């Protein structure tokens, strides 16, 4: 989605006398996402409001409501929770979803900031995604739209996948679903391109393409048009990530190869099977645990800062005890290499080194030098006394005998 800083007619509206629309986060072909407030529970929420062209489509509205109910029953740490849905009578009849607000950003934004990831970071991203997809597959639900834009990363390092069911609802609507194809061309499975069918293996294929992109920084297929990109996978296998970037372990090559087989029967059976395979790879390679960082300059952070700034300026009393917003950190220019993930995590603020104030560090250094000098003098003195005693004893040894 493209971030929009323009004023929006929905900002300030209260949907269904409960959900206040506070600030726009991002907008795209199917919907717009807003930061909102549940006035009844006094908690911040994310509001995904569908485009106006879907408002009068009864087939879409029925599917939208069924999918929302089904997704709301899913419980997994790797899923963005769905709280509610409505038809937005106070917002021009626009259907909307009420979701858990993830204070952070998208995986797409993180890739733009830092580039390709090392294997242990890739595993840290994929495991919760596969866990969330596995919960959906067990419930008979298919995501159909696995891509970095639909993966959210919180400031606490949580990785969650969102937007279950929207593609199916839009695809069955009377209005054109071109926007769906445009948004997912790089990640569609061959069966989705060829027949429109989708099963657990389709999500597995999308995760395989996502894994390739996380490791290399690019998707495997390119073309002059979205259709050219989509149809390339009908006749071509996904190349191994190691062919595009050095240092990829063969186990990850094999995982991507199996996940992106053109025949769904040759792939991992579902997200749970792929997750188990990834756990085995992590153990085999001894990959360390990793806390996935949220992107610094995310659309959500910008919207949050603008909203809290407006609340403070207006003295609005409806938001009780808003959480303090950390100072915004602009993305620094970094080389696009896996090692930068480690360096970025260990950056210190100005006036500090490894999180310690420079003044305190200098005082500690001087104190350490004084202590070291004291011990050196003591050791030298003791050595001299021992030597003197030994010399005296040696000189008088004959007389003592």
CB atoms within 10 A of CB 101: 25
Nearest-angstrom CA–CA distance, 150 and 154: 13
Burial class (CB within 10 angstroms; exposed 0-12, middle 13-18, buried 19+) of 222: exposed
Return the SS3 of 222. coil
Nearest-angstrom CA–CA distance, 101 and 123: 24
Nearest-angstrom CA–CA distance, 248 and 243: 9
Half-sphere exposure of 60 (CA within 13 A, CB side): 23
Active site residue 145: yes
The structure tokens listed for 165 are 């069911």
Nearest-10 crossing angle of helices 119-138, 271-285: 150
The structure tokens listed for 293 are 């960082």
Nearest-angstrom CA–CA distance, 199 and 269: 10
Classify the C-alpha dihedral 327-330-334-340 as positive or negative.
positive
Return the SS3 of 221. coil
User: Tokens 């959210």 sit at which residue?
Assistant: 152
Q: Give me the catalytic one of 145, 203, 270, 340.
A: 145
Burial class (CB within 10 angstroms; exposed 0-12, middle 13-18, buried 19+) of 29: middle
Half-sphere exposure of 14 (CA within 13 A, CB side): 8
Classify the C-alpha dihedral 325-329-330-336 as positive or negative.
negative
The structure tokens listed for 78 are 């790797």
Contact predicate 99/43, CB 8 Å: no
Following DSSP, what letter does each residue of 182-193 receive, concatenated?
HHHTTT--HHHH
The residues carrying an active-site annotation are 145
């Amino acid at each position: 989605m493209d971030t929009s800083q323009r004023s929006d007619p929905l900002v300030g509206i209260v949907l269904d006398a409960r959900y206040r629309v506070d600030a726009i986060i991002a907008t795209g072909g199917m919907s717009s996402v807003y930061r909102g407030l549940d006035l009844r529970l006094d908690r911040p929420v994310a509001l995904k409001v569908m485009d106006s062209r879907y408002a009068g489509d009864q087939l879409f509205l029925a599917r939208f409501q069924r999918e929302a109910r089904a997704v709301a029953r899913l419980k997994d740490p790797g899923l963005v929770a769905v709280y509610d849905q409505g038809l937005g009578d106070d917002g021009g009849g626009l259907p909307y979803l009420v979701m858990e607000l993830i204070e952070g950003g998208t995986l797409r934004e993180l890739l733009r900031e830092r580039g390709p990831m090392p294997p242990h970071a890739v595993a840290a991203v994929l495991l919760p995604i596969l866990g969330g997809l596995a919960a959906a597959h067990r419930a008979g639900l298919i995501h159909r739209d696995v891509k970095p834009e639909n993966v959210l990363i919180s400031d606490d390092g949580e990785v969650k996948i969102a937007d279950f069911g929207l593609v199916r609802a839009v695809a069955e609507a009377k209005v054109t679903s071109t926007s769906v194809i445009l948004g997912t061309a790089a990640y569609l499975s061959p069966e989705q391109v060829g027949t429109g069918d989708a099963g657990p293996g389709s999500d597995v294929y999308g995760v395989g393409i996502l894994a390739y992109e996380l490791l290399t920084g690019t998707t495997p297929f390119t073309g002059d048009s979205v259709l050219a990109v989509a149809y390339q996978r009908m006749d071509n296998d996904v190349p191994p990530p190691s062919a595009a970037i050095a240092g990829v372990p063969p186990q990850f090559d094999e995982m991507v190869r199996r996940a992106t087989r053109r025949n769904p029967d040759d792939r991992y059976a579902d997200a749970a099977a792929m997750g188990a395979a990834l756990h085995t790879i992590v153990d085999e390679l001894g990959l360390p645990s990793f806390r996935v960082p949220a992107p610094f300059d995310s659309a959500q952070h910008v919207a949050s800062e603008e909203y809290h700034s407006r609340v403070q300026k207006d003295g609005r009393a409806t938001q009780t005890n808003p959480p303090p917003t950390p100072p915004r950190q602009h993305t620094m220019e970094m080389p696009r290499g896996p090692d930068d993930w480690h360096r970025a995590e260990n950056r210190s603020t100005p006036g500090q080194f490894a999180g310690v104030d420079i003044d305190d560090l200098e005082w500690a250094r001087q104190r350490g030098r004084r202590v070291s000098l004291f011990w050196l003098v003591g050791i030298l003195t003791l050595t001299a006394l021992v030597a003197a005693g030994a010399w005296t004893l040696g000189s008088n040894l004959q007389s003592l005998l």
